[in-house]
Amino acid sequence: MSTATVRPDTAARMNTAALFPTAAFAVLTIAYVALNAATPHPDASGADVLAYTTAHHGSIDAGALLLLLAGAPLAIATALLHRVLQAPPIAVIGGALASAALTLSALFAWTGARLPATAAPELARSIADMGYMTGGPAFAAGFGLLAVGISIPVLFGRSLPRWVGWFGSVIAVAAFVSGLALVATPFSFLLPVVRFGGLIWLIATAIAAARR
Determine the pLDDT at residue 211.
Answer: 83
Q: Are 83 and 113 in contact (CB under 8 A)?
A: no
Measured in whole angstroms, how far is the alpha carbon of residue 89 from the centre of its chain? 18
For residue 162, the model assigns a pLDDT of 93
Cα 192 from Cα 97, distance rounded (Å): 18
- Put simply, whether the predicted model's pTM sits higher than 0.85 gets the answer yes
pLDDT value, residue 75: 96
Tally the domains of the chain: 1
- What are the residue ranges of helices labelled H in the chain? 8-17, 19-35, 46-55, 57-85, 89-113, 121-133, 139-156, 162-178, 190-192, 198-210
All residue ranges of the chain with pLDDT < 70 are: 1-14
Residues 164 and 205: beta-carbon distance below 8 Å = yes
Residue-level pLDDT at 106: 97
What confidence score (pLDDT) does residue 185 get? 86
Per-residue pLDDT, 1: 39
Domain hosting residue 69, numbered range: 3-210
